[in-house]
Structure 1
């Protein structure tokens, strides 16, 4: 890296929530800003500095041909590229169109669909370029983001968790809502990183951090049904922020 590392934040199809997570760091952001030069971050400033960039954070899914060209250019200009959030790592909730007729959606929503230039699918950055690290979540976890940036600043590989939400519940001493209360919970198949936020407030995990490595959804689905979820509700809970990743992992046996 250069003597003063440069950080760039890039937005594609998204709600901006993951960018706001960085802004919400407040005091930590001031400390971070003293160590780096924020070259591009349109959520915070209209200034755009030319690359190359030491670290680029990418939020949002690739949804247009222009997006494809732009993510490739960003990759060429970035030493390290980090995809942040469910849109950038899985295509986001807008990837529901991957399983339907995109032209039909466009014709229903827009008065002049012929003006719309879009791809038929919504895909993560990794479908088009090499991504060095991924931060899951909708939105991402601020602590995980700060730890990742701090690691990259000192040239260390970020320590991203490979466990499940269930593990985080045990580490926090949170009583299992599925076992104790029969609340449907996706914790056993969901990637860690949120700090078991939902179970700590006595609600089931709904998978916003995406599937864990080799999730056993075939074993979990009967338990979700046992705890009161209908077949349609089961389908819906797997068809949200990370629909493409859960669809790839689903195996109902």
Structure 2
């Protein structure tokens, strides 16, 4: 009986989420015994032809070539999982969506006519159907292993869909906003990091993107009370998940 095949693909990104897979170390060895890694150029130059049972896709779509290639990946993949903020919401490079890319190119490159790029950075789901999304910048290794294990077992991944605040409560952490007046996006950010920043007395930066139905309107006056002006509020929502609709709306309002 042949092993299921796993492929890992990179688009516009920093490679951090692919490195999370390599960082699994001992677990990766166990995983390698249950799947055949058919394509993962971060780890090996060997690329086997598809189709593939599971594809992990890192990065956003930023060029016409990306648009064509992601459709090819989708056609070859039985299950497609996007990994990281770039793949799920366009990433920090989606800040281009608020400006004029032609103007940027003319300012940076001596011959901008040779630059082939799109005016936006968009998530994979804007171009092809996606079976599952893993949030984060970078993703959490335990969530990645849970997701791969679930698909190998033929079940749905068991991952949190609440806010970072719930993770703070589970860890018994003191709320940095209530105790210290620290601005924090935890109430509107998708869980998954284990409340990493609040555990070190820092406010959440929204690395995992908006939770389902975030109440940003209720959070805004709290951020102002913590000393943030309108420009700062706009900036804090325009980082790792700048193009996520719920975060982009807050940032866009403060740019208009």
Q: What TM bracket, shorter-length normalisation?
A: over 0.9
Aligned 1:30-179 pairs, distance under 5 A: 30-179=29-178
Q: Is the 8 A contact 1:214 1:249 kept in 2?
A: no
Q: Is the 8 A contact 1:211 1:249 kept in 2?
A: no
User: Cα distance, 1:249 vs. partner?
Assistant: 5.1
SS in structure 2 at match of 1:81: strand
Q: Is the 8 A contact 1:12 1:60 kept in 2?
A: yes
Q: How many Å separate the matches in 2 of 1:45 and 1:249?
A: 41
TM-score, normalised to structure 2's length? 0.95
Q: Give the alignment's Cα RMSD to 1 decimal.
A: 1.3
Q: Is the 8 A contact 2:61 2:124 kept in 1?
A: yes
The count of residues paired between Structure 1 and Structure 2 equals 251
Match of 2:201 in 1: 202
Q: How many Å separate the matches in 1 of 2:161 and 2:197?
A: 19
Q: Is the 8 A contact 2:238 2:248 kept in 1?
A: no
Match of 2:250 in 1: 250
Q: Which runs of 4+ in 1 moved over 3 A?
A: 246-252
Deviations 1:5-36 (A, max 9, x none): 11000000000000000111111111111111
**Consecutive unaligned residues in structure 1, runs of 5 or more:** none
User: Cα distance, 1:72 vs. partner?
Assistant: 0.5
User: Cα distance, 1:250 vs. partner?
Assistant: 3.4
Match of 1:186 in 2: 185
User: Cα distance, 1:248 vs. partner?
Assistant: 4.7
TM-score, normalised to structure 1's length? 0.96
Q: Is the 8 A contact 1:8 1:56 kept in 2?
A: yes
Q: Is the 8 A contact 1:55 1:80 kept in 2?
A: yes
Q: How many Å separate the matches in 2 of 1:54 and 1:169?
A: 36
Q: How many Å separate the matches in 2 of 1:131 and 1:32?
A: 22
